[in-house]
Amino acid sequence: MGEKKTLRSREERSGNLVSIEPYDNTSGAYYKETPKRSPTNFGAYMTVALVVFLVVLFLGIYDFFQQIWKAFN
């Protein structure tokens, strides 16, 4: 048997089926990604609705008592 040769690098070997040249199929896809906005939770909408409701309620109660006060004076 012959003397064992040191293995050559893949580049030097013949008969490669797959090209060893780097191929980057994502090179056209490099762009700055815009951060995604987190979806607003139901709780945020509920909080706004509750605050608006309470403001309208207290303004209604205030107006009601004002009219009663004017009626008695």
Banded pLDDT at 12 (limits 50, 70, 90): low
- Whether 16 has a pLDDT exceeding 60, the answer reads no
CA end-to-end span of the chain, whole Å?
A: 124
Total tally of structural domains belonging to the chain: 1
pLDDT score, position 67: 96
**Does the residue 19 lie in any domain?**
no
Task: Answer yes or no: is 54 within a domain.
Answer: yes
- Please tell me the total number of residues recorded for the chain in this structure: 73
pLDDT tens digits, one per residue of 28-61 = 656 667 778 778 789 999 999 999 999 999 999 9
Tokens coding 38? 């987190």
The reply to whether 25 falls in a domain is no
* CA–CA dist 23, 13 (Å, integer): 20
Range of the domain at 67: 42-73
* Whether the predicted pLDDT of 69 surpasses 80: yes
Instruction: Determine, yes or no, domain membership for 66.
Output: yes
Does residue 32 lie in a domain region? no
